[in-house]
Amino acid sequence: MAFSHAFDVTSLREYDIRGIVGKTLSAEDAFAIGRTFGSMVRRNGGRTLVIGYDGRLSSPMLEEALVQGAVECGLEVIRVGRGPTPMLYYASATLQADGAIMVTGSHNPPDYNGFKMMLGGKPFFGAQIKELGELSARGDVVAREEGSVRELDVRDEYVRRLAKDYVGGERKLKIVWDNGNSSAGEILEKLVAVLPGEHIVLNAAIDGTFPAHHPDPTVAKNLQQLISVVRDNGADVGIAFDGDADRIGLVDNKGEILWGDQTLILLARDVLKTHPGATIIADVKASQVLFDEVARAGGKPLMWRTGHSLIKSKMAETGSPLAGEMSGHIFFADKWYGFDDALYGGVRALDILARMDEPLSVFRESLPKTISTPEVRFDCDDHRKFKVIEEVAERLRKAGAEVSEIDGVRVNTPDGWWLLRASNTQAVLVARAEGRDAAGLERLKAALVAQLEQSGLSSPDFSGNNAGH
């Protein structure tokens, strides 16, 4: 019987395939991904495919169907089992696999799941995902041929490699980890057993219902338990993960949050000691403070488009040893493999802390102060959202504004900057502003709102608490 399968149109995203299990995502979809992506691996000259899955309740079922589809392409499928997404990336890199697929819903609610893919050691995204959908719908796959399956436990090897880059110093640290019931649970248990210091692990059990809190460390309310335990125990630092542990959140010894760009400054200063003059990449949502501090530390700051696949590709292109996003994706190519890994990012942050003479709060408090809005997302039709950006950009150019169009529009003024960009994954526009003081921030917000109104859109809700930064 000929193969042909059409996906729900909402599931084919820019960076992954993702949907609500039982509604827009099913075992049939997983089989079709295995069958079609496997065919793409074969046509790319590949023979091996590594597959892993996270701790969501639907993941084992999806992984099984995925493996079945891939085996029918004649591939050697290597199953690395349940774990964090970075463990799958690690297996792919060290085995030099021709393809890799992770079954994961990342930081989405429990009823979601999805698939992150790599082809030939590189991110698989954008036009490639669109092509996968078209090939599947047409049934344009390689002839059926029975491949093979083997299971490979890389957990201990991965933990040894994570711990290897902890050199540390004289300082003995007390660390609180919030696993957030993520798929890193078993790896984290093994890791804290071999790292120096005193470790307290919260929400250690892998649980796809995420009973403690939503698994997204970029949202302050999800860090409240971690903050309390850090303060109550006089800990030096708190470290949090998202659902598949490729994004990190940090809390200092005073229980104050370090946002993604502040964490990147900490890491960049250290990396630039051994890579003077290196390019450090951050996404367009990051604070101007980050770019200024990288330059002050002797690096070349590079602002790039938001999206982990886009950042990874730019790192490879520029030879950058370190990159990061406001969302908590931190990418190390210094001593590491160029992918985002919250466990490894945590190890590197602890290594720096153990060599510091002062608490983490002193570092945070030493950074230039700004005041910023939260990231505001508001509905805008998928076709209209890009048109709005074009209209705003054209008006700004005519007005002679200082504007970057790398990803949407980011406008610099004496007050600070504001950003408007179209989401690559949802029918929304994303806005953010950062001012040098409260009055400046209000002027920036007013300028942003004025541009939206000229394009026929109402003002987004900036009523969320402005954050000091």
Which of the following is catalytic: 58, 106, 136, 183? 106
E-strand ranges in 271-358 read 279-283, 300-304, 322-324, 330-332
Amino acid at 401: A
Name the amino acid, one letter, at 359: P
Rg, the chain, Cα only: 22
Beta bridge partners of 301: 280
- Within its chain, how far is the Cα of 422 from the centroid? 18
Question: 17: which residues sit within 8 A by CB, 6+ positions away?
Answer: 7, 11, 25, 29, 33, 114, 115, 117, 129, 132
Of the candidates 428, 431, 412, the one whose C-alpha atom is nearest the C-alpha of residue 420 is: 431
Judged on CB neighbours under 10 Å (0-12, 13-18, 19+), 89 is buried
The CB density around residue 7, as the number of other CB atoms within 10 Å, is 22
Q: Which residues pair with 419 in a beta bridge?
A: 410, 432
* 136 annotated active-site: no
CA–CA dist 60, 158 (Å, integer): 21
The owner of tokens 């297996």 is 91
112 sits in which H/E element? strand 112-119
| DSSP β-bridge partners for residue 117 | 101
Tokens of 291: 């770019």
Decide the pairing of beta strands 428-435 and 371-372.
antiparallel
Active site residues: 106
